[in-house]
């Protein structure tokens, strides 16, 4: 079993050869406008448009906690919108929005897609920014769902 590779850099500029999937966590409200998604939208407009459409048409699709949407943005680069947080944090919030079981389910869908494409996976520390999660809880999910299946994973830390 390989290890997660940790690097300094921008996850929207994934390193290496071959097909790459840039994964990040979204909320279940259809909101897109803070955190890592801003970097995604600066580089590619398609993931935001696809996510908003997916949410808008949710009565007829699989949108919801644990779902994953895959958007091709370049010939060898895809973005994975993983729905892993319930709502968003507000001034009146009592708990964090992260839902580890939803991230776990979405990572399973991501692993299937990565195997189908023969892709590596690139991400920030998903679920640990605005979602309020801890990497100590997310990292084992990444290891179990992706690394254990032989999928190369690179985690990017900014700075």
Q: What is the pLDDT of residues 22-36, one digit of tens each?
A: 999 999 999 998 999
- List helix spans (H) across the chain: 36-43, 46-56, 100-117, 135-145
Provide the 3-class DSSP secondary structure of residue 51: helix
pLDDT digit string, tens, across residues 37-73: 999 999 999 999 999 999 999 999 999 999 999 999 9
C-alpha distances (whole Å) from 44 to each of 10, 12, 19, 24, 52 are 14, 9, 16, 14, 14
46 near 71, Cβ under 8 Å? yes
Contact 28, 83 (CB under 8 A): yes
């Amino acid at each position: 079993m390989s290890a997660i590779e940790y690097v300094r850099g921008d996850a929207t500029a994934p390193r290496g050869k071959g097909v790459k999937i840039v994964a990040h966590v979204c909320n279940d409200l259809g909101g897109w406008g803070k955190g890592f998604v801003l970097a995604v939208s600066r580089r590619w407009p398609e993931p935001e448009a696809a996510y908003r459409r997916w949410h808008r048409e949710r009565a007829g699709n699989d949108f919801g906690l644990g779902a994953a949407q895959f958007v091709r943005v370049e010939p060898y680069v895809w973005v994975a919108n993983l729905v892993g947080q319930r709502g968003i944090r507000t001034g009146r919030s009592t708990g964090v929005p992260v839902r580890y079981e939803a991230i776990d389910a979405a990572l399973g869908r991501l692993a299937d897609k990565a195997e189908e494409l023969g892709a590596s996976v690139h991400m920030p520390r998903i679920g640990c920014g605005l979602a309020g999660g801890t990497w100590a809880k997310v990292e084992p999910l990444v290891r179990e769902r992706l690394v254990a299946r032989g999928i190369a994973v690179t985690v990017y830390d900014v700075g």
